[in-house]
């Protein structure tokens, strides 16, 4: 049984969430909380397996509650909030404070079943996550440890980073440690739904990094030293024509039930960069990225997976490892260094 604590200031919403979760025999509601202060107290008392947390609440808001819980008695937390423009920033902040994922509230009765299914699926998958690593990620925020490389390169090189659940916090451990003179673009595929906060996430990473970090735009010319984050709801591909490399965003069908998908970006990168690729899988559920990184490795590129003990959810890295797609497994805190070292080898022709 997955012991779940519901936190929301609305009695109606608490009842609605309880009703949604009643459809799963694997989930047991241990209690409700009306605000963040109650959530902190009941988390400490009841030790739930997972917490469903609202963002805007009286007495103590959800962000403060997430920060407090993750710093004292870490528990996997799913934010359950409407995603207005302002709310998106709050939900993103919650993810960086240690919340593991979010589900969007909806007052459209046609979407209730989809929300119910998403919430139940995420609870079941996230139940297997590592709450202690969430706390560690929060404690080890970037503090300027940029990894420097020595570049003597000619030609085009590309870096791919794939992540899903737990990705925003994990990306903060990788992107800001990459040097600003990186002789390659970085393509980030973070599973996000359309209309979510990829732009805000890019702005946050840009503030922390020497590299320029931005949400990818269709048909833009690719530049070295720039991090391109795939926008939610679009596959990000890389194309080369007349010796110019550009990003092409595709509003296509989901791959592995997700869009954007790592595999789609990886395949397009092999067509452009061939063996001159360094790719890494950080965290997430499912097996997206396994086929793509296998293609990269088979083409002569370098591939890295996050180690299980420093991974929020080991599903995607495990799938890539089991596929034989990974050259080396590294802790999340060493992946930037590994990327730079492997790119340096490729650039210098070693």
Domains of the chain: 2-139 (3.40.50.2300), 158-347 (3.40.50.180)
Q: Which two tokens stand for residue 235?
A: 């596959």
Dist. CA 142–CA 277, nearest whole Å: 25
pLDDT in tens, 35-76: 999 999 999 999 999 999 999 899 999 999 999 999 888 899
Residue 129, C-beta contacts closer than 8 angstroms, at least 6 positions apart: 76, 100, 165, 166, 312, 313
Dist. CA 36–CA 54, nearest whole Å: 9
Q: Which of 8, 9, 96, 191 is catalytic?
A: 191
Dist. CA 23–CA 12, nearest whole Å: 18
Instruction: Examine the residue annotation and report whether 127 is marked as an active-site residue of this protein.
Output: no
SS3 readout for the chain: CEEEEEECCCHHHHHHHHHHHCCCCCEEEEEEECCHHHHHHHHHHHCCCEEEECCCCCCCCHHHHHHHHHHHCCCCEEEEECCCHHHHHHHHHHHHHCCCEEEECCCCCCCHHHHHHHHHHHHHHHCCCCHHHHHHHHHCCCCCCCCCCCCCCCCCCEEEEEECCCHHHHHHHHHHHCCCCCCCCEEEEECCCCCCCHHHHHHHHHHHCCCEEEECCCCCECCCCEEEECCCCCEEEEEEECCEEEEEEECCCCECCECCCHHHHHHHHHHHHCCCEEEEECCCCCCCCHHHHHHHHHCCCEEEEECHHHCCCCHHHHHHHHCCCCCEEECHHHHHHHHHHHHHHHHCCC
Instruction: Examine the residue annotation and report whether 129 is marked as an active-site residue of this protein.
Output: no
Dist. CA 57–CA 54, nearest whole Å: 7
pLDDT in tens, 289-327: 999 999 999 999 999 999 999 999 999 999 999 999 999
- Residue 143's CB: how many other CB atoms inside 10 A? 7
CA end-to-end distance (rounded Å), the chain: 53
Q: Which of 164, 169, 209, 302 is catalytic?
A: 164
Torsion angle of the four alpha carbons 311, 257, 267, 126, in this order, in degrees rounded to the nearest 10: 0
pTM of the model: 0.91
5, 138, 205, 245, 303 from 90: Cα distances, Å: 21, 16, 16, 35, 34
Instruction: Examine the residue annotation and report whether 256 is marked as an active-site residue of this protein.
Output: no
Q: 162 has which bridge partners?
A: 189, 281
Q: 187 has which bridge partners?
A: 160, 228
User: Tens-of-pLDDT digits for all 350 residues of the chain?
Assistant: 999 999 999 999 999 999 999 989 999 999 999 999 999 999 999 999 999 999 989 999 999 999 999 988 889 999 988 754 445 777 788 888 889 988 888 777 677 888 888 899 999 988 878 777 877 777 666 556 898 988 887 789 999 999 999 898 899 999 999 999 999 999 999 998 777 678 888 998 999 999 999 999 999 999 999 999 999 999 999 999 999 999 999 998 999 999 999 999 999 999 999 999 999 999 999 999 999 999 999 999 999 999 999 999 999 999 999 999 999 999 999 999 999 999 999 988 76
Q: Which of 61, 288, 291, 336 is catalytic?
A: 288
- The count of C-alpha atoms lying within 13 angstroms of the C-alpha of 93, restricted to the half-sphere facing its C-beta, is 17
What is the per-residue burial (b if ≥16 Cβ within 10 Å, else e) of 188-204? bbbbbeeebbbbbbbeb
Q: 33 has which bridge partners?
A: 7
């Amino acid at each position: 049984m997955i012991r779940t604590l519901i936190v929301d200031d609305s009695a109606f919403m608490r009842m609605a969430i309880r009703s949604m979760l009643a459809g799963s025999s694997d989930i047991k509601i241990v209690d409700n909380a009306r605000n963040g202060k109650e959530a902190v107290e009941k988390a400490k008392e009841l030790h739930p397996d997972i917490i469903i947390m609202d963002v805007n609440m009286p007495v103590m808001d959800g962000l403060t509650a997430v920060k407090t819980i993750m710093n004292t008695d870490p528990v996997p937390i799913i934010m359950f909030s409407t995603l207005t423009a302002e709310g998106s920033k709050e939900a993103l902040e919650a993810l960086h404070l240690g919340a593991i994922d979010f589900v969007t509230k909806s007052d459209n009765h046609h979407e209730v079943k989809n929300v119910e299914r998403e919430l139940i699926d995420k609870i079941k998958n996230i139940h297997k996550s590592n709450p202690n690593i969430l706390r560690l990620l929060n404690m080890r925020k970037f503090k300027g440890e940029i990894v420097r490389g020595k570049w003597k390169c000619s030609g085009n090189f590309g870096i791919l980073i794939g992540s899903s659940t737990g990705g925003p916090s994990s990306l903060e451990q990788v992107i800001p440690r990459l040097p600003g003179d990186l002789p390659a673009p970085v393509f980030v595929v973070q599973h996000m739904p359309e209309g979510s906060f990829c732009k805000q996430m890019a702005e946050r990473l840009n503030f922390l990094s020497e590299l320029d970090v931005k949400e990818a735009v269709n048909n833009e010319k690719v530049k070295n030293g720039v991090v391109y984050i795939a926008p939610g709801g679009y596959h990000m591909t890389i194309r080369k024509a007349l010796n110019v490399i550009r990003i092409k965003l595709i509003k296509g069908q989901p791959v592995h039930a997700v869009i954007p998908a790592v595999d789609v970006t990886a395949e397009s990168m092999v067509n452009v960069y061939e063996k001159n690729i360094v790719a890494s899988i950080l965290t997430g559920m499912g097996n997206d990225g396994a086929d793509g990184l296998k293609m990269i490795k088979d083409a002569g590129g370098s591939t890295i997976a996050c180690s299980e003990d420093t991974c929020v959810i080991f599903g995607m890295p495990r799938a890539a490892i089991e596929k034989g797609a990974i050259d080396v497994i590294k802790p999340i805190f060493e992946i930037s260094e590994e990327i730079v070292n492997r790119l340096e080898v490729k650039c210098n022709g070693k």
